[in-house]
Amino acid sequence: MNAPHDLLDVDHLLSDEERAIRDTARRFAQDQLAPHVAEWAETGELPAREIAKQMGGAGLLGMHLEGYGCAGVGPTAYGLASIELEAIDSGLRSLFSVQGSLAMYSIHAYGSEEQKQQWLPGMAAGDYVGAFGLTEPDHGSNPNGMRTRAKRDGDDWVVNGAKMWITNGSVADVVVVWAQTDDGIRGFVVPTDTPGFSGRAIKHKMSMRASVTSELTFEDMRLPGSALLPGAEGLRGPLGALNEARFGIVFGTTGAARSCLETAIDYATTRTQFDKPIGAFQLTQGKLADMSVAHGTALLLSVHLGRLKEAGILKPAQVSAGKLNNTRVALEIARTARTILGANGISGEYSVMRHANNLESVLTYEGTAEIHQLTIGRELTGLSAFA
Ligand code: TGC
Ligand code: FAD
């Protein structure tokens, strides 16, 4: 099963095993998710826990982690699965990313053996849904300024504060919560039935409608000492996890782009105006050609970064370059596809407007486009322009 509309034959760069994993993920996404996504987006109601269970059954959750019920596939294979999910909807890829690369990765990389045993097998199976609470109402791009505070009380910790825009948050069983302590930022593994924890879904979103996004509050939330992630100190902890999730987005966004390109080609070859298919007009072909070249080069960049990650030499600034470029490219492709579909482009009968609206969130979350520009700028100049 070759990747559709793979002009540059990026498929050629993949191993047989990677293609097999990609094909399995594609079948899952097409069979289990595609038939329902328009309704989930229309109603803004996502059965996230059921979907997590299905993704777990398909071996997708935490698939790039080793042990604890996880498949341990390579970075490129993980990226290819992200593509197939995001080809359906960025919100579904979000569910998968937050579970596997933010919540599970944090526990896997920074957790105690007890924390790993307690949570990871159930999260890999999709029995437990995870979330990652870094952003706050007043601290998004600058998580260093977070106000959520964890204070020692004997062997326990008492946490007060709030997190905002947390994917999966109000349906989760467990949230990795980042909080300020006397020793700097630390992470905590918080079961959501802990007294003092509350979560509320954010409504009226015009983007990521097939995703649960939540506000969390912690009021005198008492946690045992064993809730602390022992291996994460300072911002390095959450940023390390973000590196993983951003890497998945580099690939994933090309899935949304591919879906828009496919829709646009189908439409252009079947819609007739002035007694010709609109795909026979040079202006339409120019758009399709540009979309296809942009999609192909974004995919090439993804696989290149995947190979660097496999070699253990991928730098955060390179992940920023991929996230910045591929999100922009996908958004541009979605908007151009929208023009090719004319008025139908705004209809929920087609996926392009949904993808375009989702990609507005993708441009902002996991580090805004501007934050990634500044990360690359710092790499180039050695000068930090963040503050
Ligand atoms: P800075 O001094 O640069 O770094 C602090 C410490 O972190 C280390 N570090 C990294 N480690 C691993 N991976 C990276 N990408 C890293 N970047 C930095 C760094 O070495 C340092 O370590 P140490 O030991 O020397 O202390 O930190 P800064 O205060 O200058 O801030 C940097 C900045 C602005 C880039 C950072 O704060 C940032 O990335 N802000 C954006 C916040 C963000 O991305 N939030 C995302 C929230 S989660 C989310 O959006 C999920 S969306 C749902 C979905 O994924 O689908
Ligand atoms: P701000 O930081 O207030 O930025 C506003 C604008 O100012 C942006 O354009 C930004 O680039 C610009 N800006 C800020 N600082 C600078 C600077 N130094 N130089 C130049 N420009 C600057 N967070 C989580 O922790 N967990 C999640 O699961 C999660 N899921 C999300 C899901 C969705 C659908 C969305 C939309 C967001 C989610 N987020 C999550 C939050 C996301 O990470 C933040 O929205 C993002 O980091 C930006 O923060 P902010 O919205 O507060 O914007």
Please tell me whether residues 178 and 308 are part of one structural domain: no
Cα–Cα distance for residue pair 10/31, rounded to 1 Å:
24
- Nearest residue to 54 via CA among 75, 38, 30: 30
pLDDT of residue 68: 98
Is 349 part of the annotated catalytic residue set? no
Please indicate, yes or no, whether residues 273 and 346 belong to a single structural domain of this protein: yes
Residue 4 lies in a domain: no
Burial letters for 83-120: b for 16+ Cβ neighbours within 10 Å, e otherwise? Answer: bbbbbbbbbbbbbbbbbbbbbbbbbbbbbbeebbebbb
Whether residue 20 is found in the same domain as residue 143: no
H or E stretch at 198? strand 197-201
DSSP for residue 2? P
pLDDT tens column, 118-138: 999 999 999 999 999 999 999
Q: Which CATH number characterizes residue 165's domain?
A: 2.40.110.10
The pLDDT score that the predictor gives to residue 204 is 96
Reply yes or no on whether the pLDDT at 15 is more than 80. yes
- 267 and 342 inside one domain: yes
Examine the domain organization and report whether 56 and 184 are in the same domain. Answer: no
CB count in 10 Å sphere of residue 62: 31
CATH of residue 43: 1.10.540.10
Q: Report pLDDT digits (tens) over 67-89.
A: 999 999 999 999 999 999 999 99
Same domain, 254 and 332: yes
Q: Is the predicted pLDDT of residue 4 greater than 70, yes or no?
A: no
Identify whether residues 141 and 117 lie together within a single domain.
no
pLDDT beyond 80 at 219: yes
CB 257 within 8 A of CB 330: yes
On whether both 43 and 86 belong to a single domain, the answer is yes
Asked whether residue 3 carries a pLDDT value surpassing 70, the answer given is no
Model confidence pTM above 0.90: yes
Residue 3 lies in a domain: no
User: How many CA atoms lie within 13 Å of 86's alpha carbon, on the beta-carbon side?
Assistant: 30
pLDDT number for residue 2? 52
Instruction: Give the total number of structural domains in the chain.
Output: 3
ipTM value for the complex: 0.98
Asked if residue 204 and residue 225 are part of one domain, the reply reads yes
Given the residues 215, 366, 370, 379, the one annotated as active site: 366
User: If you write DSSP's letter for every residue of 120-173 in order, what string do you get?
Assistant: HHHHHHTSS-EEEE--BTTBSS-GGG---EEEEETTEEEEEEEEEEEETGGG-S
CA-nearest residue for atom 36, ligand 2, is: 361
331: tokens are: 């958004």
- Among 46, 55, 101, 239, residue to substitute to test ligand 1 (most atoms within 8 Å of Cβ): 239
Q: Kindly report the CATH number assigned to the domain that includes residue 317.
A: 1.20.140.10
Could you tell me if 225 and 251 lie in one domain?
no
The pLDDT value recorded for residue 5 is 79
Whether residue 210 is contained in a domain is answered as yes
Taking the centre of ligand 1 as the mean of its atom positions, its distance from the CA of residue 58, in whole angstroms, is 31
**Ligand 1: residue whose CA is nearest its atom 19:** 236
> Residue 271: which domain range?
237-381
Nearest protein CA to atom 23 of ligand 2, as residue: 135
Helix (H, G, I), strand (E, B) or coil at 201: strand
Residue 46 main-chain phi, psi, to 5 deg: -110, 125
Domain boundary among 202, 233, 264: 233
241 shares a domain with 223: no
Domain boundary among 210, 233, 256: 233
Q: Residue for token digits 């039935």?
A: 193
Burial class from Cβ neighbours inside 10 Å (0-12, 13-18, 19+) for residue 311 reads exposed
Does residue 1 carry a pLDDT above 70? no
Average pLDDT over residues 38-66: 98
The answer to the question of residue 1 being in a domain is no
> What is the average pLDDT across 158-184?
98
The CA-to-CA distance between both ends of the chain, in Å, stands at 48
Q: Residue 153's CB: how many other CB atoms inside 10 A?
A: 11
Q: Which residues contact 322 (CB under 8 A, 6 or more apart)?
A: 246, 247, 250, 301, 302, 305
Q: Is the CB of 135 under 6 A from ligand 2?
A: yes
Domain end, chosen from 233, 255, 280, is at: 233
Compute the mean pLDDT over every residue in the chain, rounded to the nearest whole number. Answer: 97
pLDDT in tens, 336-374: 999 999 999 999 999 999 999 999 999 999 999 999 999
For ligand 2, whether the C-beta of 362 sits within 6 Å is no
